[in-house]
Copies of this chain bind each other. A is one copy, B any other.
Amino acid sequence: MNEQKVNDWLASRKQLRENRNAVSLFEALRSGNRTALSSSITLLESSLEKDREIATAIIRLCLPFSGNSVRIGITGVPGVGKSSFIERFGMELIHEGKRIAVLAIDPTSERTGGSILGDKTRMQQLSQEENAFIRPSAAGNTLGGVARKTRETIILCEAAGYDTILVETVGVGQSETMVHSMVDFFLLLLLAGAGDELQGIKRGIMEMADGLAVTKADGENDQRAKLAQRELKNAIHLFPPTASGWIPEVHTCSSVTGERIDAVRNMIHRFEEHAKIKGSFLQNRKDQDRNWMHETLRSLLLEGLYLNPAIHQRTLEMEEAVRQGNISAFEAAEFIYDLYKKQ
């Protein structure tokens, strides 16, 4: 065989091996094998090109089996008790016969290091359940990268038969918008305080919420939680109505006593029914898919531009020229774009 043929043969062998890996992992994952699910997620989180290729093949195989779930985003400032809530709420779902996957988007996870142990420790009961799959936040250089990995993980989890996906995030920064763009229901957890319930919550997050729950509504705190609930109900009225006509509800609950956790559960149930009857449930998912496609395309385009060394150098020069007032920002942009097109 000549060299070309050898290379072709090697490439086809490689392709075959990758496909085999993908198919066998997919089949194991579909049959409920948790290790296969974990391995598949590890592949899609990998920075190695060949791992990513296998992951892409697995995702393609999983796609027809995905989507049959309710995706719930959960956010709130640190200290609001997200873990305790998810533990209680998750157990409630398990008792209903649900199979739940808990994922996280945590922009701070880089700093605090890996949190597999952390996640298992903070959700002790849930982590021992056969029907619960807990996966810590994916690491990544960019929030966009982490979001993509999380979204692909949702597809894998759904194909593996998990019918309720909880995506947790911290109530600070841009991660909320990311999570909001990949879930069906967005739940905001709040602490009762002396009139400053909204402090610490970034503007716009309240507006994204489909439901609010004031946590730690037990013992002496119960009255304060109820007061906060009333205030929040009033505030909600100022918001423009959602497209589907769903009016966000405000509840109080306690993860310690477990009281009114079912109220939150019932709210999400009502939302699901409402959105499915109105048709907004599927429509929202389609819109999300469409947005993700365009958003990804946009990122690829910008990366292609800015990661090009020649263009990068020129961009720095143009920034300086604009700074010096030698060229307008618009002309500078046109100059760089022309250069990019010529390449």
Check B330–A152 contact: CB distance below 8 A. Answer: yes
Cα separation A296 to B199 with both chains bound (whole Å): 35
Q: Which residues of chain B are near A151, meaning CB under 8 Å? A: 329-330
Check B328–A63 contact: CB distance below 8 A. Answer: yes
Q: Determine which of B148, B305, B318, B322 lies in contact with A301 in the assembled complex, contact meaning CB atoms within 8 Å.
A: B305
- A56 (CB) vs chain B CBs: closest residue: B331
Q: Which residues of chain B are near A198, meaning CB under 8 Å? A: 238
Q: Which residues of chain B are near A301, meaning CB under 8 Å? A: 301-302, 305, 337, 340
Q: Which residues of chain B are near A289, meaning CB under 8 Å? A: 322-323, 329
Interface residue tally on A, bucketed by range: 35 or more
- A325 (CB) vs chain B CBs: closest residue: B63
Cα separation A340 to B304 with both chains bound (whole Å): 11
Interface residue A326 (Cβ < 8 Å from any Cβ of B): yes
Check B297–A333 contact: CB distance below 8 A. Answer: yes
Q: Apart from A292-B329, A298-B302, A300-B333, what are 6 other A-B pairs with CB-CB below 8 Å?
A: A63-B328, A151-B330, A199-B238, A203-B207, A204-B204, A296-B333
Cα separation A319 to B286 with both chains bound (whole Å): 9
28 contacts between A and B (CB under 8 A): A56-B331, A59-B331, A63-B325, A63-B326, A63-B328, A66-B325, A151-B329, A155-B328, A203-B207, A286-B323, A289-B322, A289-B323, A290-B322, A290-B329, A292-B329, A293-B322, A293-B330, A294-B333, A295-B333, A296-B333, A296-B334, A297-B333, A297-B337, A298-B302, A300-B333, A301-B305, A301-B340, A304-B337
